[in-house]
């Protein structure tokens, strides 16, 4: 999350609002024939290399577009409470990132700008992948542009698989089902003394990972009624079976770390330091090689295991959204700035290819993982995806076979996150996971009933 404050406000603040077009609480939309774009996706100050790269992009862009001024406006806009407070105070940047799960609630609250007409004008509405378009649409209007997308998979630590004797003909014995994962994790614990599997349990991240397992057991978390309201529907046998599986991971198979109170960062630390053999992730997990110095060839990614109802992988990602105060000129200028950086557009120019190639070269020098292709596509038209594959071929630093099954996603149902109160649901699921991992006498039947009622009464029933 980002914390840096914007530059150049001292110059702007002295001007009176009445003298400036579109001025709102100190942010200038236009001045002296220049359009001001406040970039809320700017890297945080501590990300020195990222800031340096963005400043270089800005210098080149403003040289080619002297009528546009890009102002870095980094901040913690992904946090929903911070975003709402800044929206009410009219202090949002021109554009910023937002998670898939938050866009419709914020559109309903009036915190996002409707960009439907501008999207149509630029041909972006028909270029978006249909599933992506649905994610950024609310009440028939478009409120964002997907920036990145992922589908979760299973990452395997080959060091621990080798120690446990689970490498055959140079390949890991990948569990095909969740039941096989539990049995494999048990073997790893017995042979190595390390955890065979782990997932987060706090900060809503346990529920975020667990939902893949729940879907594979046939759990339906909610349904929308004819009047538009939602009903919680996971007081079911399927949910009891999924939670029993989680209980068994701990108490039957001894598959988990001794300390189960971990978040996503903690999980990656355990995996990267050879303390955990398997985890759900959205590959590539860059921290493994950049923060924990893990050998790139020791990481293997595959599809999520299958459950009784199939193989489900959660889709997520980030969306670029615009302030409701942003003018048409600012949105158009912002799109131009994004396109210059090779973002939010289905086509790619020769200049962009050159810049992207340099970016991959730079990433490779810093030990970032560069896959042969992107895990998911955002656009259904244009040449960006195909040209990116050609570019990546020059810089890919992984063994293709180590990611082949994950990238192909054969026989996987890729599913977006639940439609409403998603973070609230994750928090409730966190508590369920914590309880079955720490209480050998946990009453699964009662836990499920209570959680379903909690979600209904305290969240779904309180939706506007």
pLDDT digits (tens, 9 = 90+) for 272-307: 999 999 999 999 999 999 999 999 999 999 999 999
Tell me the mean pLDDT in the region 47-67. 92
Query: pLDDT by residue (tens digit) across 371-402?
Result: 999 988 899 999 989 999 999 999 999 999 99
- Res 26: pLDDT: 58
Closest to 223 measured CA to CA, from 215, 214, 233: 233
CB 322 within 8 A of CB 95: yes
Residue 148 reports pLDDT greater than 50? yes
pLDDT at 20: 36
HEC readout, 51-98: HHHHHHHHHHHHHHCCCEEEEECCCCCCCHHHHHHHHHCCCCCCEEEE
Rounded percentage of the chain residues whose pLDDT exceeds 70: 94
- How far apart are the two ends of the chain, measured CA to CA in Å? 28
Q: Report the C-alpha gap between 17 and 200 in whole angstroms.
A: 48
Residues 6+ apart with CB under 8 A from 400: 372
Could you tell me which of 173, 199, 178, 179 has the C-alpha nearest to residue 257?
199
What is the DSSP pairing of strand 68-72 with strand 34-39? parallel
Phi-psi region of 203 (alpha: psi -120 to 50; beta: other; left: phi over 0): left
Q: Which residue has the higher pLDDT, 47 or 373?
A: 373
Q: What is the mean pLDDT of residues 66-92?
A: 87
Query: Cβ of 119: how many Cβ atoms within 10 Å?
Result: 23
The pLDDT, as a whole number, for residue 76 is: 67
- pLDDT tops 50 at residue 7: no
Domain range annotation of the chain: 9-143+317-345, 153-311+414-462
The pair of three-digit structure tokens given for residue 294, joined into one six-digit string: 């893990």
Mean pLDDT within 95-121: 92
Q: How confident is the model over 336-353, as a mean pLDDT?
A: 87
Q: What is the 3-state secondary structure (H, E, C) of 280-334?
A: EECCCCCHHHHCCCCCHHHEEEECCCEECCECEEEEEEEEEEECCCCCHHHHHHH
Average pLDDT over residues 71-78: 82
CATH label, 153-311+414-462, candidates 3.30.420.40, 1.20.120.50, 3.40.50.300, 3.40.190.10: 3.40.190.10
Instruction: Indicate the average pLDDT of the chain.
Output: 91
pLDDT for 6 equals 32
C-alpha span between 26 and 28 (Å, rounded): 6
CATH number corresponding to 9-143+317-345: 3.40.190.10
Which residues face 301 on adjacent strands? 155
pLDDT tens digits, 199-240: 999 999 999 999 999 999 999 999 999 998 999 999 999 999
DSSP E strand stretches across 118-219: 137-138, 141-142, 145-151, 153-157, 167-168, 171-172
Burial (0-12, 13-18, 19+ Cβ within 10 Å), 457: exposed
Q: What does the pLDDT average to over 170-180?
A: 97
pLDDT per position as a tens digit, 307-344: 999 999 999 888 999 999 999 999 999 999 998 887 88
Domain 9-143+317-345 shares a fold with domain 153-311+414-462: yes
pTM given for the model: 0.84
pLDDT score recorded for residue 180: 98
List the structure tokens of 377. 């596509």
* Helices 237-251/422-438 angle, 10° precision: 50
Which region among 19-33, 36-50, 120-134 has the lowest average model confidence (pLDDT)?
19-33
Structure-token pair, residue 279: 């985890």
Give the pLDDT mean for 21-43. 81
Per-residue pLDDT band at 18 (split at 50, 70, 90): very low
Residue 1 pLDDT more than 70?
no
Q: Would you state the pLDDT for residue 4?
A: 34
Residue 22 has pLDDT above 90, yes or no: no
Contacts of residue 409, defined as CB under 8 A and 6 or more positions apart, other chains included, come to 151, 303, 313
């Amino acid at each position: 999350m980002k914390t840096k404050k914007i530059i150049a406000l001292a110059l702007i603040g002295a001007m009176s609002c009445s003298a400036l077009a579109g001025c709102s609480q100190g942010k200038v939309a236009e001045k002296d024939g220049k359009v001001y774009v406040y970039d809320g996706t700017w890297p945080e100050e501590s990300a020195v290399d990222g800031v340096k790269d963005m400043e270089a992009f800005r210098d080149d862009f403003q040289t080619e577009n002297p009528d546009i001024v890009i102002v870095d406006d980094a901040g913690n806009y992904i946090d929903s409470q911070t975003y709402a407070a800044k929206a009410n105070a009219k202090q949002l940047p021109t554009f910023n990132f937002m998670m898939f799960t938050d866009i419709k609630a914020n559109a309903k609250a009036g915190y996002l700008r409707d960009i439907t007409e501008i999207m149509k004008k630029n041909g972006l509405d028909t270029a978006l992948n249909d599933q992506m378009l649905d994610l950024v649409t609310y009440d028939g209007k478009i409120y964002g542009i997907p920036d990145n997308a992922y589908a979760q998979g299973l990452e395997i630590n080959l060091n621990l698989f080798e120690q446990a004797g689970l490498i055959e003909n140079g390949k890991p014995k990948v569990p095909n089902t969740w039941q096989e994962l539990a049995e494999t994790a048990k073997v790893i614990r017995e042979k190595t003394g390390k955890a065979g599997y782990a997932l987060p349990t706090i900060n809503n991240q346990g529920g975020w990972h667990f939902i893949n397992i729940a879907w594979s057991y046939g759990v339906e978390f909610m349904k929308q009624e004819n009047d538009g309201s939602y009903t919680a529907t996971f007081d079911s046998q399927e949910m009891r079976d999924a939670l029993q599986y989680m209980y068994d991971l701990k108490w039957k198979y001894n598959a988990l770390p001794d300390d189960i109170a971990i978040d996503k960062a903690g999980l990656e630390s355990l995996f990267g330091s050879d303390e955990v053999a398997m985890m759900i992730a959205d590959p590539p997990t860059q921290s493994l090689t950049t923060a924990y110095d893990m050998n790139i060839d020791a990481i293997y990614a595959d599809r999520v295991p299958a459950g009784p109802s199939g193989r489900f992988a959660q889709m997520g990602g980030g969306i670029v959204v615009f302030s409701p105060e942003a003018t048409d000129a600012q949105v158009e200028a912002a799109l131009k700035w994004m396109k210059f950086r090779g973002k939010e557009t289905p086509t790619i120019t020769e200049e962009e290819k050159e810049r992207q190639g340099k970016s991959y070269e730079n990433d490779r020098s810093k030990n970032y993982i560069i896959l042969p292709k992107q895990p998911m596509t955002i656009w259904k038209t244009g040449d960006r995806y195909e040209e990116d594959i050609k570019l990546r071929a020059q810089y890919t630093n992984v063994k293709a076979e180590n990611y082949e099954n994950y990238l192909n996603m054969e026989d996987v149902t890729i599913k977006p996150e639940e439609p409403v109160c998603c973070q609230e649901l994750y928090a409730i699921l966190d508590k369920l996971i914590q309880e079955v991992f720490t209480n050998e006498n946990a009453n699964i039947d009662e836990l499920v009933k209570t959680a379903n009622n909690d979600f209904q009464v305290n969240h779904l029933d309180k939706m506007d």
